[in-house]
Structures are given as structure tokens and as C-alpha cells.
């Protein structure tokens, strides 16, 4: 066994010494990864939204949105702490790997109880049993978080192909779980889906952990330096980012009904999937911000300026495709989803805003402005709810789109103004 791990570590060091073209290669691999996921996730989204219908799908989207916002506290920022620590000291990987797994398990009981209470008392989900809520919570809180942590282990070593394997296996597992559920369930509903959703998540988690151990070695469970404060900052910032992305879904379902929530969730799911190439560029560049900024803040900022042109061009191409291909959705899901077409068209600028914001906040973290990044995300997420209430009242379901775009635009402006000020101070 030690020989296997030693051979894998030797390969790992060889990868670290590859030329600088690794960024371009990884961007291509990430983009290929996300493009393949688009087809798998599109099939998954089409099947589940079509079978559940707008109302039940709206409830499901609200449940997962609330759980995802809470799940960022699982592990207390262990994935981001691992990337921060190991990106500049590879020998710290195994102890950070072990620490992260312990923190995920330790935070699960408290968070699961809290999320269950929130869903039970605030969500109009009478068609979902208490057992199903617990299964959904465990799948996204424990299993999905562990899978993300496993991918972070490869992110820090810039091993894009290993992440591609995990992504494809886990998304295909989710799709096959749905296919089995549709085939073996007499009446497909949220309660039936919860059991298959849980089972697929468990299988994906087992594979992801074994895959990391095989390639990078086993975790070490020992005492590590406490990083409570930075972990809390990561958690709050990630929760705010998740709220900025998903808070609108449960609010729409609560105020306008689960059917309207289903229209919006289906439209946003399509647009978010189309952003995969943008996400690929962001993933490929993420670790580089730490490496360049470790030398100097100016190096990190200059690197971000090199990434921006590729990001902007890719985002604009995706936006045009989203606008002119929005009519396809009713053909895939049925005419009952026709109201989603206008929502998709209005979201055509979302890829550009997401890319600009992602680059900016990743750079802030890389140059040591984590607290500033956290404040930006908190303010943006807090602003979402009141603006959304106002917009829904005056503009209906399109008000949710206007809210998302306005809040994102203002956040992008503030983020890059801060970066400009940092760069100005460096010059002086």
C-alpha cells in the first residue's frame, strides 16, 4: 500500500513541475468537464422538472436552495482552508485532508437539526414527509459537501482531469438514480425521489473519497492549528454567495406560489448550466491567484487582467446563445414551461456578471482581502431580500430577474473599484 501511495506522490510532484501552459490546458479540461456536465445535467433537469411539474419542482428547488445555503457551514470552510494552506505548502495536504473530514462530520448534527427546523416551519411543503426532508438534508449537507471537499483536494494541485472524473461520475450517478427512480417508482413524487437522491449521493461520496485516497494518499487525523476565525469568514462569505445565487427561489415560492417558483427555477437552471465554460475559466485560474499573490499583490492583479479578456469574450458568446435559444425550453419540458422563456432571455447577461464577480472576489481572496470579500458578499446577500420583495410586487416574476441582475451589477462595480484602489496604492 505504501508503494502505491509513494508512486502516486511521485506522479503528483511531476505534475507540479509541468510548464506554464498548464493554465490553458486546465481551462480546456475544465471547460470540457463542464460542457459534458451540461448534457448530463440537462438530461437530469429535463426529466425531473417534466415528471414533477412546475409546482413540485418549485418545492424541490426551494428545499435544495435552503439546504445549500446552510451546507456552506459544514466543515467550517475546510475546503477553502485546505486550498489556502496547501497551495503554498504541499506537505500539509494530508493533515488538512483529515481535518476537513472531521469537521464535516462534527458540524453535520447541528446543521441538520437547524435546517430541518427551518424547512419544517417556513416551507410550504405539505407534499414532503419529514423523513424525505431528512434525506434531502443529509444528501446535500453531508454527501455533497464531502464531494466538493474531495474536488478541492485536486484543485489545490491543479489536477483538472481528476476533478473531471469526480464530476462526471457524481453527475452520472445522480442521473442514473433518477432513471431508476422513474422506472421503479409506481407514482414518482418528492417522497419517492428523496430515497433515490440519498442513495445516489451516498454512492458518489464513497467513490470520491476512495478516489482521493488512491491518488493523493490517506488523511491524517491529528492535531492541527485552529483556524476558527478564517473558517468563519469563509463560511459567512460562502453562505452570502449562496444566498445571492439561490435566496430568490424559496422567496418566490413563498410569495407567488410554487408553480411560479418552478418556472423561475427551471429557467435559472438552464442559464446556470450554460455558464459552465465561464466556470471552467474561473476554476482553472483560482489557485493561481494564491500563487501569484504570494509573491506580490501586483502579480496577482496583473494575472487577473490577463484572464479577463478570455472571460468576457466567452461570457458574451454564451449570453447571445442564451437569448436566441431560449425558445427550446418548452420543447424539452413541455408547453407548461412557456413562461420560463422570457425569464431566460432577461438572464442573458448573467454569465458576464457572474464571470466578472467571480474573478474579482477570487482575486480579493488571493491578495489577502478575505474580510473585504466577506463584507461585499454579506451586503449583497442582505440587499437581495428587500429588493426582491419590492421587485416582485411591481414587476411580477420578472422582478426576481431584475433583482438578481441589479444586485450582481452593483456588487461587480464595488468589487472592481476596491481592486482599482489596491492597485493604485501599490503604484504609489
What is the reported pLDDT for 156?
83
Look at 140 and 232; give whichever has higher pLDDT. Answer: 140
- Range from 148-152, 295-299, 332-336 carrying the lowest mean pLDDT: 295-299
Look at 149 and 245; give whichever has higher pLDDT. Answer: 149
Report whether 188 contacts 319 (CB < 8 A): no
Single out the residue of 280, 295, 284, 291 nearest to residue 84, CA to CA: 291
Q: Cell 422582478 maps to which residue?
A: 399
- Range from 23-27, 326-330, 416-420 carrying the lowest mean pLDDT: 23-27
C-alpha–C-alpha distance, residues 384 and 386, integer Å: 6
Element holding 161 (H helix, E strand): helix 160-184
Q: What is the mean pLDDT of residues 169-190?
A: 87
Other CB atoms within a 10 A radius of the CB of residue 257 amount to 15
- What cell does 284 get? 482553472
Element holding 98 (H helix, E strand): helix 93-122
C-alpha–C-alpha distance, residues 369 and 81, integer Å: 15
Q: What is the DSSP letter of 187?
A: S
pLDDT tens-place string over residues 368-380: 777 788 888 888 8
What is the reported pLDDT for 18?
47
Q: Per-residue confidence at 34, pLDDT binned at 50, 70, 90?
A: low
SS3 category, 198: helix
Is the pLDDT reported for residue 65 higher than 70? yes
Single out the residue of 231, 351, 358 nearest to residue 284, CA to CA: 358
C-alpha–C-alpha distance, residues 40 and 37, integer Å: 5
Is the pLDDT reported for residue 16 higher than 50? no
Is the pLDDT reported for residue 28 higher than 80? no
Sign of CA dihedral 207, 35, 355, 338: negative
Write the CB contacts of 86 (distance below 8 Å, at least 6 apart in sequence): 92, 93, 96, 156, 157
Q: Cell 491543479 maps to which residue?
A: 158
What is the reported pLDDT for 10?
43
Q: What is the DSSP string of 352-415?
A: HHHHHHHHHHHHHHHTT-HHHHHHHHHHHHHHHHHHHHHHHHHHTTHHHHHHHHHHHHHHHHHH
What is the reported pLDDT for 27?
60
Look at 218 and 297; give whichever has higher pLDDT. Answer: 218
Report whether 258 contacts 395 (CB < 8 A): no
Single out the residue of 287, 295, 411 nearest to residue 361, CA to CA: 411
Q: What is the mean pLDDT of residues 138-148?
A: 93
Percent of residues, the chain, with pLDDT higher than 90:
27
Q: What is the mean pLDDT of residues 363-370?
A: 78
Is the pLDDT reported for residue 427 higher than 80? no
Burial class (CB in 10 A: 0-12, 13-18, 19+), 135: buried
C-alpha–C-alpha distance, residues 355 and 309, integer Å: 11
What is the reported pLDDT for 125?
53
C-alpha–C-alpha distance, residues 248 and 244, integer Å: 8
- Range from 39-43, 51-55, 141-145 carrying the lowest mean pLDDT: 39-43
Half-sphere exposure (Cβ direction) of 283: Cα atoms closer than 13 Å: 28
Look at 210 and 188; give whichever has higher pLDDT. Answer: 210
Single out the residue of 392, 390, 415, 388 nearest to residue 403, CA to CA: 388
Write the CB contacts of 400 (distance below 8 Å, at least 6 apart in sequence): 248, 252, 264, 343, 388, 391, 392
Is the pLDDT reported for residue 271 higher than 80? yes
C-alpha–C-alpha distance, residues 134 and 120, integer Å: 10
Q: Per-residue confidence at 15, pLDDT binned at 50, 70, 90?
A: very low
Is the pLDDT reported for residue 126 higher than 70? no
C-alpha–C-alpha distance, residues 305 and 344, integer Å: 30
Q: Say whether pTM exceeds 0.75.
A: no
Average pLDDT value for the chain: 83
pLDDT tens-place string over residues 73-104: 888 888 888 887 887 778 889 888 999 999 99
Amino acid at each position: 500500500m505504501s508503494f502505491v501511495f509513494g508512486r502516486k506522490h511521485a506522479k503528483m510532484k511531476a505534475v507540479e513541475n509541468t510548464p506554464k501552459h498548464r493554465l490553458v490546458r486546465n481551462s480546456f479540461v475544465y471547460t470540457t468537464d463542464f460542457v459534458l456536465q451540461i448534457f448530463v445535467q440537462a438530461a437530469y433537469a429535463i426529466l425531473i422538472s417534466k415528471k414533477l411539474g412546475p409546482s413540485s419542482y418549485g418545492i424541490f428547488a426551494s428545499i435544495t436552495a435552503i439546504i445549500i445555503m446552510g451546507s456552506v457551514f459544514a466543515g467550517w470552510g475546510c475546503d477553502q482552508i485546505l486550498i489556502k494552506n496547501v497551495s503554498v505548502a504541499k506537505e500539509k495536504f494530508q493533515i488538512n485532508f483529515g481535518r476537513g473530514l472531521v469537521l464535516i462530520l462534527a458540524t453535520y448534527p447541528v446543521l441538520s437539526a437547524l435546517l430541518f427546523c427551518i424547512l419544517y416551519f417556513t416551507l410550504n411543503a405539505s407534499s414532503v414527509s419529514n423523513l424525505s426532508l431528512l434525506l434531502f438534508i443529509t444528501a446535500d449537507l453531508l454527501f455533497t459537501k464531502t464531494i466538493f471537499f474531495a474536488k478541492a483536494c485536486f484543485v489545490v494541485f491543479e489536477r483538472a482531469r481528476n476533478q473531471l472524473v469526480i464530476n462526471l461520475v457524481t453527475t452520472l450517478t445522480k442521473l442514473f438514480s433518477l432513471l431508476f427512480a422513474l422506472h421503479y417508482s409506481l407514482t414518482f413524487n418528492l417522497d419517492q425521489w428523496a430515497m433515490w437522491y440519498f442513495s445516489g449521493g451516498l454512492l458518489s461520496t464513497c467513490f470520491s473519497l476512495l478516489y482521493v485516497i488512491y491518488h493523493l494518499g490517506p488523511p491524517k487525523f491529528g492535531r492541527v492549528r485552529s483556524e476558527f476565525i478564517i473558517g468563519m469568514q469563509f463560511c459567512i462569505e460562502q453562505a452570502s454567495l449562496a444566498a445571492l445565487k439561490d435566496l430568490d427561489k424559496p422567496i418566490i415560492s413563498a410569495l407567488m406560489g410554487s408553480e411560479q417558483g418552478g418556472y423561475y427555477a427551471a429557467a435559472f437552471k438552464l442559464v446556470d448550466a450554460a455558464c459552465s465554460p465561464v466556470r471552467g475559466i474561473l476554476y482553472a485560474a483560482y489557485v493561481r491567484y494564491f500563487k501569484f499573490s504570494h509573491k506580490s499583490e501586483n502579480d496577482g492583479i496583473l494575472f487577473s487582467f490577463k484572464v479577463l479578456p478570455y472571460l468576457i469574450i466567452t461570457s458574451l458568446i454564451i449570453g447571445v446563445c442564451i437569448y436566441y435559444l431560449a425558445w427550446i425550453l418548452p420543447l424539452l419540458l413541455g408547453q407548461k414551461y412557456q413562461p420560463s422563456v422570457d425569464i431566460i432571455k432577461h438572464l442573458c447577461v448573467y454569465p458576464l456578471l457572474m464571470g466578472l464577480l467571480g474573478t474579482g472576489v477570487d482575486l480579493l481572496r488571493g491578495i489577502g482581502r478575505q474580510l473585504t470579500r466577506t463584507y461585499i458578499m454579506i451586503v449583497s446577500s442582505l440587499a437581495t431580500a428587500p429588493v426582491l420583495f419590492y421587485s416582485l410586487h411591481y414587476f411580477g416574476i420578472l422582478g426576481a430577474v431584475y433583482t438578481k441582475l441589479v444586485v450582481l451589477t452593483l456588487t461587480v462595480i464595488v468589487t472592481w473599484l476596491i481592486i482599482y484602489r489596491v492597485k493604485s496604492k501599490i503604484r504609489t
